[in-house]
Amino acid sequence: MKKAIISAKDLCKSFAHNGGQVHIIQNVDLEIYEGDFTIIMGSSGSGKSTLLYALSGMDRATSGRVELKGENITDMSEKELAKLRHTRFGFVFQQINLVSNLSLFENVAVPGYLNKDRSSAEVNETADRLLKKMGISDIKTQLPSQCSGGEQQRCAIARALINTPDIVFADEPTGALNRRNTTEVLDLFTLCNKEGQSILMVTHDIRAALRATRLLYLEDGKIIGELSLPPYSPENEKSRETQVNSWLTSMHW
């Protein structure tokens, strides 16, 4: 029996628009399990990113409840949410969003420094190890603007992992990358997941979807389909592609 890390109950998110309400997420009940590589797919405007940020406490839901391992995060204060972000969550964004005046190493280490449970030396050691794992340790002193998009996104993944979070949230992490960089970044996510890292990713890239162990399909703010897959390996990529394509077709993708 898998343990749920994130549980959402009756989750709604709506915005005021032209005097009325636009419902982006509608009464979603959902559980994200430990060790899974969960990917949420859906057409553009279906509310994927909104759901991701509501689940991660980055954005407050209009109604409903989100729990992290049974702990309600919906009513947490800004300070409590900030602590969650640097202790239990990791984030990877489509636009990468590295701090432009910090080196790659510093971008990775700074959230580690925030976590007072570890010494500065431990953080530096972890940052070095992660940068090496991401294959960018030789350029760690460079600024983001001096690196390629792929290198920057690998740095962003390392940053998300620095505090060994319970779960990494990734919002279209390959959306701004070319084909080669996309594969490299997805390989890293897959590797991390195989090492036990729980990941919740939002994407509309089929190549990314192939890496999932669990696929969810969102339409008009509602989960309308789910597909479970065995762990990814290059050998089973072809068969996964057929299975996922068929499932997506059934979802009117």
Partner 1 sequence: MDIILLIKKNIRYKKGSFTSIIMLMLIIALSITTIVSIKENVPRSIENAYDRVYDSSITLNICSKYLTDEILEEVAAHPLVKKVEVRDALAPDKYSYSNEKKGTFGILVMQIDARIDRVWNEDYSDYADNVRELRNGEVYLPRAMAEKDGISIGDSIIIGFKDDTYSYKVTGLVEEPSCGSSFIGSKAIFISEEDFKSLSEKRKMAAAADPEAENDLYKVIYITQADDSSYSDSKFVSVLNSEVRLGSFAAGMITRYESLHYQGLMPDIISNIFLSFVIILTVIVFVVMSNSISSSIELNYVDLGILKAQGYDSARLKLVFLGQYMLAEAVGAVLGIVLAFPVCSFLSRAFEPIIGLKIYGGINILLSLAIILGLLILSAAFILLVSGKVGSISPIRALQSGRSEVYFDSRLNVPVRSSFLSAGLALRQFTSGKRRYAASIAIASILVFFLLTMTGMTDAVSSENAQRAMGATSENIAITIPLDYSPENTVIINEQLALAESVIKEYTEIQERYRTSTRYMLLNGEQLSCIISEDEETYTITEGRAPRYKNEIVIGQIYAEDMGYKIGDEVKVSYQGGTGSFIVSGFCTGLQDTGRFFGMTGDGARTLKSDFAVHWAGYKLKDIEKQDEIKDRLTEVLIDKCTVKIYKPGEADEVFVQLSGAIKAVIYVISVIFALVVVSMVCTKTFIREKTDIGIYKSLGFTSANLRLQFAVRFLIVAVFGIIIGSTLSLAFSEKLLSLLLRSMGIVNFVIEYRFITVFLPVAAIAVSYFVFAYLTTAKIKTVEVRELITE
Q: Which residues bind partner 1 (CB under 8 A)?
A: 44-45, 49-50, 53, 58-59, 78-79, 82-87, 91, 93-95, 97-102, 106, 109-114, 119-120, 123, 143, 145-146, 159, 171-172, 175
Q: Contact, 233 vs 52, CB < 8 A?
A: no
Least distance CB 25 / partner 1 (angstroms)? 13
Least distance CB 56 / partner 1 (angstroms)? 9
Residue closer to partner 1 (CB basis): 145 or 249 = 145
Give the integer Cα–Cα distance in Å for 212 and 55: 18
**What residues are paired with 155 via a beta bridge?**
none
Residue closer to partner 1 (CB basis): 204 or 240 = 204
Residue closer to partner 1 (CB basis): 36 or 172 = 172
Beta strand segments in 172-221, E: 198-202, 214-219
Q: Which helix (H) or strand (E) holds 185?
A: helix 179-194
Q: Contact, 221 vs 24, CB < 8 A?
A: yes
Residue closer to partner 1 (CB basis): 26 or 94 = 94
Between β-strands 167-171 and 89-92, what pairing exists: parallel, antiparallel or unpaired?
Answer: parallel
Q: Contact, 96 vs 153, CB < 8 A?
A: yes
Least distance CB 141 / partner 1 (angstroms)? 10
Least distance CB 150 / partner 1 (angstroms)? 17
Q: Contact, 81 vs 87, CB < 8 A?
A: no
Residue closer to partner 1 (CB basis): 78 or 138 = 78
Residue of 193, 248, 196, 189 whose CA lies nearest to 43: 248
What dihedral do alpha carbons 7, 10, 13, 16 form, nearest 10°? -160
Least distance CB 116 / partner 1 (angstroms)? 9
Q: Cβ-count burial of 44 within 10 angstroms (0-12 exposed, 13-18 middle, 19+ buried)?
A: exposed
Residue closer to partner 1 (CB basis): 37 or 91 = 91
Least distance CB 47 / partner 1 (angstroms)? 9
Residue closer to partner 1 (CB basis): 44 or 228 = 44
CA distances from 49 to 24, 73, 133 (A): 10, 18, 28
Least distance CB 58 / partner 1 (angstroms)? 4
